[in-house]
Amino acid sequence: MKLANFELATPSFGIALVGLDSYWDLHNGLSFLSFSLDAKSNIATMTWKASGHAPIRYSGCTLVFIGLKLLIISARDSDPPLSEDLCVSSVSMVLPEPNPEPAFRMKAQWNSNEEFHLLFQFQSGRSIEIDAETVELRELRLD
């Protein structure tokens, strides 16, 4: 996957994206709004809205996954309140190999030519693993 216009602040168990001249804190500064899949164009999107602690100039952000190759959405834990689905606990680059323990698929450093998936883990226990040709960070402007 190619990260077109952003990078992860930390490649493993991070909470932020860096791009569009902003630091996008997916844990403390933004609330997850939605995931959508456009099957006709093979594009997936993940959208976050800025919360009260977000020092950014946009209303939120969207990640647009173009040329979708893989999408795995796990079940959530039944105990946490639904509000925990709004909070990303971590985002990581993971090796594209099966292993039930995500930590065994992570690396401290990545070479630019290495294949990886993005793994979003939420406070509710839900996770979204995704692979695409390219992912773009776009600002969200809610009026």
Q: How many helices (H) and strands (E) does the chain have?
A: 0, 10
Q: What is the pLDDT of residues 72-125, one digit of tens each?
A: 999 999 998 888 888 999 999 999 987 778 888 888 888 888 999 999 999 999
CA distance 114 to 116: 6
C-alpha angle with apex 12: 85 to 136, nearest 5 degrees? 70
Split at pLDDT 50, 70, 90, the class of 143 is low
| Least confident window among 9-18, 60-69, 96-105 | 96-105
Helix or strand or coil: residue 52? coil
% pLDDT > 70, the chain: 95
Average pLDDT value for residue range 62-68: 97
Could you give the strand order of the β-sheet that contains 22-25, starting from the edge strand earlier in sequence?
Answer: 6-8, 16-19, 22-25
Domain that holds residue 39: 2-140
What mean pLDDT value characterizes the chain?
90
CA distance 82 to 97: 30
Q: What is the pLDDT of residues 50-61, one digit of tens each?
A: 886 655 677 889
Domain count, the chain: 1
- For the purposes of burial, counting CB atoms within 10 Å of the CB of 51, is it exposed (0-12), middle (13-18) or buried (19 or more)? middle
CA distance 104 to 23: 27
